[in-house]
Amino acid sequence: MKIILVRHAETEEGKARIVLGHLPGHLSSKGVEQAKALALQLKDEPIDVIFSSDLERAADTARQVAKFHPDVPLHFVEGLRERYLGDLQGTKKEGLVWHEYAGLEYEHDDALFARARRFLEKIASEYPDGTVLVVAHHDINNALTAVIRGRAARDVRDMGRQENCGVRVFEGKVF
């Protein structure tokens, strides 16, 4: 199995340092160009299926890639959404740090990790020898990466920063 894990393109909200979480997000003009460049980068990649978060910023990125793969199924999956951040969604990022989230409603690493594992179990059973493109978000991609690398939920935040339209490729056994 081959998994191509992509983060969505730049958003207007990201430029403004607004916390999105489950909010849709809108690609910026730079983001549209990033998504088109990603599509060109992946145009000759043999892809069996595309899964995308159902949030607008990821879905619009995935649609750009899908233009070069018109016969490849494209599925929008709620389970690939970014980490839920409750009341923080729609607020400015300035000054926010994880240890200050105590008492606030948000999706904890254990829940995010479990969600990532469920998704990977599903695609591993359905596409064991396939090439799967996944277009999602920073935190859920880090959770997916942690599962694939055999790490624990506590390691989700240690998987590194994935830039907009950044690509991670994993081949072989998923977990």
Active-site residue list: 8, 82
Rounded Cα gap, residues 77 and 18, in angstroms: 23
Question: Which residue shows structure tokens 């606030």?
Answer: 104
- The type of residue at 59 is A
- The type of residue at 40 is L
Rounded Cα gap, residues 63 and 54, in angstroms: 11
| DSSP helix/strand/coil, 4 | strand
Rounded Cα gap, residues 75 and 11, in angstroms: 21
